[in-house]
Structure 1
C-alpha cells in the first residue's frame, strides 16, 4: 500500500476583513451592502463593497508614497511570490532595529522577509503604537538582496510619521512591501510566500490574501 503523500502545510496570514475591521484614522473602512439577494425573481446574491485598498493584509504600490510611482496594477508580481523568511522581533519597541533580527539573518536569506512584532496581532482594533521598520534596517536588508519586506502591523513607518522614512527607503531601493499580516502562529523559518495583489490599474495599493506554504521536505 502506498504511503500517504505529505501535503505541505499552509498558514493563512491575512486578518479578517469585515465592517469594523481597523483602518488608519481617516481612511475608508470596509462597508458592504447587498445589491441583489436570492428571491423568486433573482437567482443570486450580489454584494457591493466600499473600502480603502489598505484594509486588511495589503501591498502598497510605489504610487502610495511617490507621486510618479507605479500603480499596483503595473508592478511586477515576482516579489510577491516565492521563498521568504519569517523573523520574530516581538515586543522590541517602536522600531525594528538590525539587532532585533540579526539572529535570523545569514547568507541563505531569501529575497523576502516578514517580521513578526506582536505576541498577538490586534486584528479587531487600531494600534497607534504599532512597531515599524527602522530605515537603516530596510537599507541593510536591501543590501543583502531582499526585494520585499513585510510586517504584522499597519505600516512599515510609525503611525504618526509625516516623513515616511522607511517608505522612502523602499522607493529609492525599489522594494515591495506587505503590511497588516498575521504571523501569530508562524514559527521562525523559511516558507513559500503567496500574496498577489489585484490588478487595480490606477490604485495605490491592493488587498491580498497572503499565505505561507511549508517548503518541500
Structure 2
C-alpha cells in the first residue's frame, strides 16, 4: 500500500506575497551569483516574521512573553483535526460546541475567507476570546487558522491572542486548507529556532491519518 502523502498547507514565499499593511514585505535576492563566487549562488531574504504561514510567540503581543526559541516544539508536531466553520458568521463557543473535539490537541479552522497568498485580505472572520478557556478544557494546545490573525485586523487590544496565551494555547496563522477535507491529520509546523523571535515562518504540512492519536 502506498504511504499517505504529505500535503503542503504553507503559503509559498515570494516577492509578491501579501503582507500586513506597513509591515516589512518579503524580499528574496541572489546576493552572490555563482559567476561571482566561482562556486555557488547565495540567496538572501528580508521579511517580517508574520508574513505567510507563521507561528506567533507570546512576545509578539506581550513584552514579557516567551520568544520562539522558548516554545516546546512538540506542540507543533502531532495529531490535528480540521473542522469547517465556513458556514458560520461568528466563531465562538456556540459555534465550536457543534463539533466533536474529543481527544483534539491541535485544532485547525477552515473559514469562509479564501486563502490567496498574493492578496492580503481586507476583512477576516476572527475568534471570540471566550473560545480559549473552552478549548483549554477540551485539551487543545494549538489553534490554527487560514487567515493572518485570530483577532480583527485592526485590533490593538488583541483579546484573542492574550486569552489563548493565558490558557496556554499556541497560535498558527495563514495555513492554506481551502482544498483539504475536514478530518484528522498528522501535522508538522515547526518554527525556526529564533532566539529573539516574536514569531517565525513555518513549513506546515499534513498527512491524513485513520488511527486515533494525540
Q: TM-score, normalised by structure 2?
A: 0.93
Q: What is the aligned partner in structure 2 of residue 118 from structure 1?
A: 112
Counterparts of residues 83-122 of structure 1 (less than 5 Å) = 83-90=79-86, 92-93=88-89, 95-107=90-102, 109-118=103-112, 120-122=114-116
Counterpart-to-counterpart distance in 2, 1:173 and 1:32:
37
Q: Which residue of the other structure, out of 45, 48, 58, is the alignment partner of 1:49?
A: 45
Q: What is the aligned partner in structure 1 of residue 59 from structure 2?
A: 63
Q: TM-score, normalised by structure 1?
A: 0.91
Counterparts of residues 134-153 of structure 1 (less than 5 Å) = 134-153=128-147
Tell me if structure 2 keeps the 8 A contact 1:34–1:47. Answer: yes
Task: Check 1:122–1:99 CA distance in 2 against 1; reply closer, same or farther (3 A cut).
Answer: farther
| Runs of 5+ consecutive residues of structure 1 not aligned to the other structure | none
Aligned-partner SS, 1:35: strand
Counterpart-to-counterpart distance in 2, 1:142 and 1:122:
30
Q: What is the aligned partner in structure 2 of residue 191 from structure 1?
A: 185
| Runs of 5+ consecutive residues of structure 2 not aligned to the other structure | none
Counterpart-to-counterpart distance in 2, 1:118 and 1:208:
23
Size of the alignment, in residue pairs?
211
Counterpart-to-counterpart distance in 2, 1:165 and 1:41:
50
